[in-house]
Amino acid sequence: MRDRDSAGVPARLALAAELLLLDRLTRAGRAAALGLAAAVATGWGFAALALHQQALASRAGGASLGTLGALFADGSSALTAWPGWLAAVILGVSAIRLRRGPVEPPAGRSTAGELSAAEVRAGLRREYVGARLILIAVSGLTLADVGRLTVSGIAALLGVSRAGGGLPWMGVEVIGLGAATTTLTAWVLAFRRQLERVGALEPRRAHDGVGGSPS
Classify residue 215: in a domain, yes or no.
no
Q: How far apart are CA 116 and CA 49, in angstroms?
A: 54
For the chain, the average pLDDT equals: 85
pLDDT tens-place string over residues 153-177: 999 999 888 888 889 999 999 999 9
Nearest alpha-carbon partner for 95 in 213, 200, 192? 192
Number of domains in the chain: 1
Q: Residue 45 is inside which H or E element, if any?
A: helix 27-60
Query: For residue 66, is it left (φ>0), alpha (ψ between -120 and 50) or beta?
Result: beta
Average pLDDT over residues 79-102: 92
pLDDT tens-place string over residues 127-149: 999 999 999 999 999 999 999 99
pLDDT tens-place string over residues 48-64: 999 999 998 888 888 88
Classify residue 13: in a domain, yes or no.
yes
Residue 115 has pLDDT above 60, yes or no: yes
This prediction has a pTM of 0.84
The alpha carbon of 77 is separated from its chain's Cα centroid by a whole number of angstroms, namely 21
Classify residue 214: in a domain, yes or no.
no
3-state DSSP: the chain helix, strand, coil percent, rounded to 5? 75, 0, 25
Give the relative orientation of helices 27-60 and 67-74 as an angle to the nearest 10 degrees: 100
Classify residue 203: in a domain, yes or no.
yes
Instruction: Choose the weakest-confidence range: 108-112, 118-122, 139-143.
Output: 108-112
Provide the pLDDT for residue 180. Answer: 97
Residue-number span of the structural domain to which 150 is assigned: 2-208
User: Taking the CB of residue 107, how many other CB atoms lie within 10 A of it?
Assistant: 9
Classify residue 128: in a domain, yes or no.
yes
pLDDT tens-place string over residues 7-20: 577 888 889 999 99
Classify residue 180: in a domain, yes or no.
yes
Residue 206 has pLDDT above 50, yes or no: no
Q: Enumerate residues 6+ apart whose C-beta is below 8 A from 130.
A: none
Classify residue 142: in a domain, yes or no.
yes
Average pLDDT over residues 22-50: 95
